[in-house]
Amino acid sequence: MTLKATNSIEAMITSRDNKWLKSFRAALRGQHPEAQPQNGRAGAGSRTGELLGIEGPKLVEEALRAGLEAEALLVSESGEREAQRILQAASESESGIPQSRVFRTSDKLFAGVAGTESPQGVAALFRQREYAFEDILRGAGGVRQSLPLVIVLAAVQDPGNVGTILRSAEAFGATGAVAARGTADPWSPKALRASAGSALRLPVMRGIAIPVLLAQLRVSGINIYGATSQVSTAGRGLAPETPEADLTEACAIFVGNEGAGLPPEVEHAADALISIPTSAVESLNAGVAGSIVLYEAARQRRRQSQRGS
């Protein structure tokens, strides 16, 4: 049975070679170490898998409240003031934090494992959550409350853009997101920070090949749109005077690579290509473009809902 830490910091780590400190160092730098087996042994009933490193009291608390299962908590001397709030959030969560895995360390050792230039003294390891295709159609909570709105990142390589798009996806009511193969890890430290916690709450499917995803979308009756900077005869503009891009139906919107744009297979398979009219600049970066398209989808859906009420 997992104990929930309540009001004490249990163990002091004093060596940079400590196995837990090494796990924190790897996870907070995006290397995804494997979870430590229970009681130091693998075997039946042991828990293994990739770990997600989260740094900073706000994001750690967000992860706990989002229901992620915590593996360990690390608190430095300067972070102890924030630790009690984290432990309180853990005590209120379903799985809590194993009390034997709440660790203290010095500010110096913490800085050596942190992934930020100005460490805040609190970090945690969580088990990565795996989502299936149906999850991104249903949305957070697993209960479908609206028609699917899925944002697909097709080889978006900048973690900052990935995080920005996920933040906008949650803000504008997307049911889920897909980080297709070749896209930066949406749970990397930089992407997590850019998402301001949205990547912890929004269903995100990772690593699927584009052709497989396109086939699944087709079978599920999801309209496929590709956001492009190139206006073609097949394009659908998002300007008010060209409202042909109907994003009120169940749809998946693909945002392509920062330099190369959409993969050819997406352009060929898309029901329509959509563009964002701009002046003076040739194109927008992936984070901005994805956010604008998601806003337009939310605007159209809100307007339709108001008409129907």
Bigger pLDDT: 218 vs 244 = 218
By DSSP bridging, strand 122-127 and strand 70-76 are antiparallel
Query: What average pLDDT score do residues 166-189 get?
Result: 96
Query: What average pLDDT score do residues 166-190 get?
Result: 95
Structure tokens at 69: 């299962």
In angstroms, the CA 56 to CA 102 distance is 15
Given a contact cutoff of 8 angstroms between Cβ atoms, the answer to whether 177 and 206 are in contact is: no
| pLDDT band, very low/low/confident/very high, at 142 (cuts 50, 70, 90) | low
C-alpha R_g of the chain? 21
In angstroms, the CA 294 to CA 219 distance is 23
pTM value is 0.83
pLDDT for res 42: 36
| pLDDT band, very low/low/confident/very high, at 163 (cuts 50, 70, 90) | very high
Lowest-pLDDT range of 131-135, 171-175, 281-285: 281-285
- Residue-wise pLDDT for 15-60, tens only, equals 989 999 999 999 998 876 555 544 443 333 333 457 899 999 999 9
Dihedral (Cα; 239, 266, 168, 150), 10-degree rounding? 110
> Helices 159-171 and 286-308 sit at what angle, rounded to 10 degrees?
10
What is the average pLDDT value for the chain, to the nearest integer? 84
The pLDDT of residue 95 is above 80: no
In angstroms, the CA 109 to CA 16 distance is 6
What end-to-end distance do the CA atoms of the chain give, in Å? 49
Ramachandran sector of residue 152 (left: φ over 0; alpha: ψ -120 to 50; beta: rest): beta
Give the whole-number percent of the chain exceeding pLDDT 70. 83
| pLDDT band, very low/low/confident/very high, at 209 (cuts 50, 70, 90) | very high
Domains and CATH numbers, the chain: 11-127 (3.30.1330.30), 133-308 (3.40.1280.10)
- Residue-wise pLDDT for 263-304, tens only, equals 999 999 999 999 887 776 666 789 999 999 999 999 999 998
- Residue-wise pLDDT for 7-24, tens only, equals 444 589 999 899 999 999
